[in-house]
Chains A and B, each alone.
Chain A
Amino acid sequence: MVTKIPDPATQETLPLPATSAGTGWSHALRGALLLMLICGGLYPAVTATLGGMLFPHQSTGSLVSINGKVIGSELVGQPFSAPGYFHGRPSAAGYDPFSVSGSNWAPSNPDLRQRAAADAARIAEANNIAANTIPVDLIAASGSGIDPHITPEAARLQIDRVARTRNLPRNQVAGIVNEHVEPPVLSILGQPHVNVLKLNLALDTINQ
């Protein structure tokens, strides 16, 4: 907005009140209320309503249901400990979506080393492998505390345990894992990942 140099002639015929530029408190009050209504009311209300209409499944949290019962969300990891399920990553929030959080421990924090050592020992024993072969993501807590994914390597190292517990052929479980690997989008964006909840649901379907 570039303003013109005020022309003395028009100044005389159209005397503007001193506050018309918008320097007064009343302008600020009206401006604040109107802009808050537009930006904080109209914009989110219209956008969320339209977004909800266009993408109904996503709009309420990408929920997953079995027989009409909601068992979780594709976008929210769940805690798994039974040996017949694939396990996800450590969580500083105990997978509670209302208290999402990372550990926020620095690499120099002795607590982090302690937690990692305990997890590594447990995972090594449960899967019968050496600790220094565990993929990092199974030892490192996620940022959100509800990361629904693990790496394909982290899934593969659990295949033997899951297959044994469920009395399924190893090949069949390995096949299901492979089906659930989501590669980088356009081979560029993101890392290969496996959704643990979807993977475990697929296994439950077979066992039924």
Chain B
Amino acid sequence: MNEVLLIYATALLLAWPLGRYLAETFSPTSGMVDRIFTPVEGVIYRILGVQPESPMNWKQYGKAILKLHVIIALVALIILMQQGRLPLNPDDIGGMSWDLALHTVASFITNTNQQHYSGQAQLSYFGHMFAIVSMQVITPAAGLAALVAILRTAFLLRKEPELTADGSISVGNFYADLVRSITRLMLPLAFITALLLAWQGVPNTFEGAQTANTLDSTVELTEQRIPVGPVAPMVAIKQIGTNGGGWYGPNSSVPLENPTPVSNYIQTVSIVLIPMALVFMAGYLTGQRRLAISIFGVMLTMSVVLAGINIWSENQPNAAFGGLTADGPNLEGKEVRFGATATALWGSFTTQTSNGSVNGMHDSFNPLGGGTELMDMFINATFGGVGVGLVNFLLFLLLAVFLGSLMVGRSPELLGRALEAKEIKLVSIALLIQPLLILGLTALTVAIPGLAANSNPGFHGLSQVLYEYTSAFANNGSGFEGLGDDTVWWNVSCAVALILGRFIPILAPLAAAAHLAGKRVAPTTSGTLNIATPTFALLTLGVIVMFALLSFFPVLVLGPVAEYLTLAG
């Protein structure tokens, strides 16, 4: 329990100053740090041929995001399929099949990091670095850029909106936001984290696998080939950038990727650090500090309640071991050095933030523990992915403003600007595509024989399929990993969910923000709905929970709840 409190406290205490720093980073003048970073960024802008002060409207901003991602994806696709012929491949690993490479690229370019491969055996060092690590740095930075654009457009109140050269509403410059996110946040923080992890034992070498002749000669396996590589820099950015895709197949449960309780502490804090910091950043950046605190309160409440249930659940025995062991928690798929509590907390953080790394196998969690993780991903706005998590929350906030205003008979407005059909349509598209896609693909996969490839029978078999699509759409990346998911069906159908789950929730809110910013600000009166109050926070919480339950309660009953009741009965 103390470990849980310590991790929450550390994350909070680091997130606050980091949020403040980030607000400065995205303000026009950022003082001291400018002197270090401006010259470096100047070189980058010059090579790119970009003027960072030039404003973009939301369509230009969105196109710039999409174009950059398309090219990175194509380059990464070529690298993954051709890695057998490329350098830095001491263990002679061959290229990926087209569908596996397609899924891998779709998964990493969307900040999801769902893996249908095992890194230690199917990726060369070149593939790990240039394809995987570069997307793990760039994609969270792009998510953060989108958040900053939305915040400054819809939540930063100015007398007159910023305009582009053609007179449309400016949302900022994508490359300026992106490059700053990379140079001033992602790379420095990843560098420090990587060295801390290297100290704890995460490998850092360009040598190939190490061979060991094991101690007990009476067993079958007498030689171990131990895969190593430049692991620490990847693990660091995987944790801080809500990426989640690890070097080794079972991710941070592997001792080489997460060697000690100390490395586990660092990595657990790293999962939530930036997502938490961004709420503080939003408060400082827009001046809406009370609103930010209220948002943080709602997120923290959801986080603590669902993590609490998960931790309780995993400290119950595994039903399969009844009568076969002494009393104890569910340790199937968990590591002794961490124990059930730390593994469940990680499981909650990683599904709340759309990180998706694991330090234990979620497939073997008790039914309700796994159920809370599904719930975390349905909501996908409890701190959430870097940038996009808070954007998702803001969508719920707009919905709550709309519903709350109608309930008390006022015309809905956000910070004095009228919320009208156009904005609500965009919000609805972004929100409703989630249940449509997840439930549709799940139904299709279990209805057609031979597609599911699930490894568990009964209710849990359905949970496996549901989890995979939920994770893909939430850009999470964790899985009930027993699923035989390296098939053409899984690779292609998940790729669709991944891409829609990433770009619609970025582009639709960006458009809504630009529409809002063009409206006249009505003066605040006693009749104005104040959204920075505990009452409104409660309403938002209610909207989020009701939305998730209305969409997914039936399938939760068919999956984890039914499994729980069967085992309990």
Contact = CB atoms under 8 A, between A and B. Distances in A.
Contacts of B132: 40
B3 A140 contact: no
Nearest to B149: A1
A206 interface: no
B456 interface: yes
A100 B249 contact: yes
Q: How many B residues touch the partner, as a band?
A: 35 or more
B129 to A, nearest CB: 5
Most B C-beta atoms less than 10 A away, residue of A22, A31, A34, A48:
A22
Contacts of B458: 108
Contacts of B129: 40-41, 44-45
Contacts of A32: 68, 71-72, 75
B230 interface: yes
B524 interface: no
Contact of B336 (A27, A69, A78, A142): A142
Contacts of A47: 190-191, 194-195, 204, 230, 232-233, 236
A132 B326 CA distance: 5
B221 A96 contact: yes
A81 B219 CA distance: 6
Given A28-B67, A44-B234, A47-B233, A106 B563 contact: yes
Given A22-B174, A135-B325, A107 B216 contact: no
Most B C-beta atoms less than 10 A away, residue of A89, A146, A189, A204:
A189
Interface string B164-181: 110000101111111010
A5 interface: yes
Nearest to B322: A113
Contact of B224 (A51, A97, A138): A97
Contacts, number: 478
Contacts of B323: 131-132
B232 A48 contact: yes
B70 A28 contact: yes
Contacts of A50: 195
Interface in B113-143: 118, 120-121, 128-138
Contacts of B72: 32, 35-36
A207 interface: no
B516 interface: no
Interface in B300-346: 317-321, 323-326, 328-339, 342-343
Interface string A25-61: 1111111111110111101111111111011001111
A158 to B, nearest CB: 14
Interface stretch (B207-215, B288-296, B408-416, B529-537): B207-215
A197 interface: yes
A120 to B, nearest CB: 4
B228 interface: yes
Contacts of A107: 318-320, 330, 332, 364, 366-367, 563, 567
Given A108-B319, A143-B358, A197-B215, A16 B51 contact: yes
A143 B333 contact: yes
Given A1-B26, A97-B226, A101-B249, A23 B60 contact: yes
B201 A58 contact: yes
Q: How many A residues touch the partner, as a band?
A: 35 or more
Interface in A145-182: 145-151, 153, 182
Contacts of B329: 136
Given A50-B195, A105-B332, A112-B320, A21 B216 contact: no
Contacts of B163: 5-6
A104 B319 contact: no
Contacts of A102: 250, 253, 332-333, 360-361, 363-364, 481
B51 A20 contact: yes
Contacts of B256: 61, 73, 75-76, 97
A37 to B, nearest CB: 8
Contact of A105 (B234, B264, B455): B455
B433 interface: no
Interface in B194-208: 194-195, 198-207
Interface in B468-502: 480-482
B428 interface: no
Contact of A82 (B210, B218, B328, B330): B218
A110 B460 CA distance: 12
Interface string B499-519: 000000000000000000000
B204 A2 contact: no
A96 B336 contact: no
Contact of B456 (A19, A52, A109): A109
Given A26-B49, A47-B191, A136-B321, A62 B201 contact: yes
A117 to B, nearest CB: 6
A144 B255 contact: yes
B216 A43 contact: no
B336 A106 contact: no
Contacts of B546: none
A31 B68 contact: yes
B274 to A, nearest CB: 16
B326 A133 contact: yes
Nearest to A29: B71
Nearest to A152: B336
B459 A108 contact: yes
B448 interface: no
B481 A104 contact: yes
Contacts of B459: 108
Closest 7 CB pairs between A and B? A190-B261, A40-B134, A104-B482, A143-B253, A51-B198, A51-B204, A48-B230
9 contacts: A1-B173, A2-B152, A23-B67, A25-B71, A29-B71, A39-B182, A137-B331, A140-B321, A143-B361
Given A2-B156, A6-B165, 15 more contacts: A1-B172, A39-B133, A49-B204, A55-B198, A89-B336, A95-B224, A107-B332, A108-B567, A109-B457, A110-B457, A135-B328, A141-B333, A144-B335, A189-B264, A197-B215
